[in-house]
Amino acid sequence: MNELFLKRMKDLLQEDYEAYLNTLNNKPYRGFRINTLKITEEDFFHTFEIECHASNFAKHAYVLDTDEHYGQSLPHALGLMYMQEPSAASAVEVLDPKPNDWVLDLCAAPGGKSTQIAQYLTGDGLLVSNEIESKRAQILLSNIERLGISNAIVTNSTPEKITKLLHGRMDKVLVDAPCSGEGMFKKESKALEDWSEEHVISCSLRQRHILQCAIQALKQDGILVYSTCTYAIEENEKNVAWILETFTDLELVQIQVKWGKEGVQIGNYPTHYTRRILPMDEGEGHFIAKFRRISPNTLNSLDILKSDKLTPSIEKFIKNETSFKENILLKNNRIYAGKHPFYDFKDNYVLRNQVLIGEVIHDRFEPHQHAYTSVLFAPTLNNVCLCDEKEVELFRKGNILQKPVPKGFVGIRIMDQFIGFGKSDGSIIKNKIPKGLRIR
């Protein structure tokens, strides 16, 4: 372990330092959330046996009591669970999104907090999940799809561009900022290898830039939550003090929870209103601060996209294979469905605008996986349930199924949960599950 880092931790923790040192020899805490958009907690534990106990940090969150891995498990594939370090669920609990809120997750990949926000929205409201790095944005998108989220717009844009577009519109904004990752040292060796005081300072400056952008998106009385997975004061309380000094239209809200510890006092600023989580609290480490915008903000208007004329193949699919009756958009040969209008995000690159139903390829309509995992759209589709364990395994491996069902595209359910789809010729279902979701 880096000696300079340990000295900084000793200065920070003081009487808690020895307890922290003792945690360095322990395995990192692991946890998961149950996706209540698709299943109740009661039904989840009635169906699946997982050694765990409830986490203190958030609703629907659990700490694993086993070394078993669940990334290839059936409940994971069905989008019924999301693997998440326990303390990472704390920030959204503090943000407390409500149904009908508009929420911006500005640094959203890989998607743990965005999918948690979507659970709190319960299918209502609008979630904008943004990630600046294109590869990480694709991971974010895959998790949005897998968990069946239907009211999210996923963007791959800069903080400046996306917050300019959403200026004054958002009820809640989350900045789970890129950081030095001191709370991830046991899990990610690269975070430890990259650590230096210079890196900490560099991260703090980057975080200030992101926060300055985020504030622009808030409406009056809107809530901003700033979180990191690091312990460094420069990235945490000192950034909070900087916000309070720089932006007089924000006030710091005291976080009133039973877990963690108060933040470190910086000058005359009430930075003790923030919250710190340490490994002694049954989480690897998190910092959370909560702000409220107390002044009015100018509202940027959003244009609504107009749909291209639906092709005969799309109209046939909608008429014959789905009962969906809400908004439909055809743009650039891609067809989307959603509860909300389809807003024009201008020069922000949009990876997903609510639910991607499918694409028109050579005048032929081809459905998309998201249509069959979406909690909004999938229940309206023709489908068949696989009850035999061998059939389930065959499908998850990408094999065809010998099953007499009506011709056409058909959703595949396992344990009454959609996992993907296939195309039937009447007796055989050709597997359409994406290769990246198949098991060996």
Q: 257-277 burial string, b = 16+ CB within 10 Å, else e?
A: eebbeebbebeebbbebbbbb
- Judge if 421 and 279 occupy the same domain: no
Q: Which residues pair with 413 in a beta bridge?
A: 385, 418
Domain end (from 238, 259, 293)? 293
Of 197, 194, 172, 177, which Cα lies nearest the Cα of 185? 194
Domain end (from 293, 326, 345)? 293
User: Average pLDDT, stretch 358-371?
Assistant: 92
> Residues with Cβ < 8 Å from 362, sequence gap 6 or more?
none
Indicate whether 56 belongs to any domain.
no
pLDDT band at 312; cut points 50, 70, 90:
confident
Q: How many CB atoms lie within 10 A of CB 7?
A: 10
> Residues with Cβ < 8 Å from 128, sequence gap 6 or more?
102, 103, 104, 105, 152, 153, 155, 162, 166, 170
- Judge if 387 and 425 occupy the same domain: yes
% of the chain beyond a pLDDT of 90: 86
Indicate whether 4 belongs to any domain.
no
- Judge if 243 and 257 occupy the same domain: yes
Greater pLDDT, 273 or 195:
273
- Judge if 357 and 412 occupy the same domain: no
Q: What is the CATH number of the domain that holds 388?
A: 2.30.130.60
Domain that holds residue 387: 382-440
Predicted confidence at residue 163, as pLDDT, reads: 98
Predicted confidence at residue 192, as pLDDT, reads: 81
Predicted confidence at residue 154, as pLDDT, reads: 98
Indicate whether 53 belongs to any domain.
no
Would you state the structure tokens that stand for residue 37, as one six-digit string? 């958009």
CA 140 vs. chain centroid, Å, equals 7
- Judge if 255 and 392 occupy the same domain: no
Indicate whether 364 belongs to any domain.
yes
- Judge if 356 and 213 occupy the same domain: no
Binding residues, as ranges, are: 107-113, 131, 176
Predicted confidence at residue 314, as pLDDT, reads: 87
- 178-234 pLDDT, tens digit each: 999 999 888 777 778 889 999 999 999 999 999 999 999 999 999 999 999 999 999
Which phi and psi (to 5°) does residue 223 adopt? -110, 130
CA 308 vs. chain centroid, Å, equals 30
- Judge if 397 and 325 occupy the same domain: no
Indicate whether 196 belongs to any domain.
yes
User: Average pLDDT, stretch 256-269?
Assistant: 96
Binding residues for S-adenosyl-L-methionine, as ranges, are: 107-113, 131, 176
Residue the block writes with tokens 């990752």: 181
48 touches 70 (CB < 8 A): no
Predicted confidence at residue 303, as pLDDT, reads: 97
- Judge if 386 and 374 occupy the same domain: no
Most confident of 270-279, 307-316, 403-412: 270-279
User: Average pLDDT, stretch 99-114?
Assistant: 98
User: Average pLDDT, stretch 289-299?
Assistant: 97
Give the residue numbers marked as catalytic.
Answer: 229
Predicted confidence at residue 2, as pLDDT, reads: 85
Indicate whether 36 belongs to any domain.
no
Considering the entire predicted model, what is its pTM? 0.96
Indicate whether 267 belongs to any domain.
yes
Indicate whether 1 belongs to any domain.
no
Q: How many CB atoms lie within 10 A of CB 382?
A: 16
- 9-65 pLDDT, tens digit each: 999 999 999 999 999 989 999 999 999 999 999 999 999 999 999 999 999 999 999
- Judge if 179 and 259 occupy the same domain: yes
Question: Minimum mean pLDDT among 100-109, 138-147, 192-201, 270-279: which range?
Answer: 192-201
Domain end (from 293, 316, 331)? 293
- Judge if 344 and 433 occupy the same domain: no
- Judge if 203 and 231 occupy the same domain: yes
Q: How many domains does the chain have?
A: 3
Predicted confidence at residue 376, as pLDDT, reads: 87
Whole-angstrom distance, CA of residue 336 vs CA of residue 349: 16
- pLDDT of 323 strictly over 80: no
- Judge if 216 and 344 occupy the same domain: no
Q: What is the CATH number of the domain that holds 108?
A: 3.40.50.150
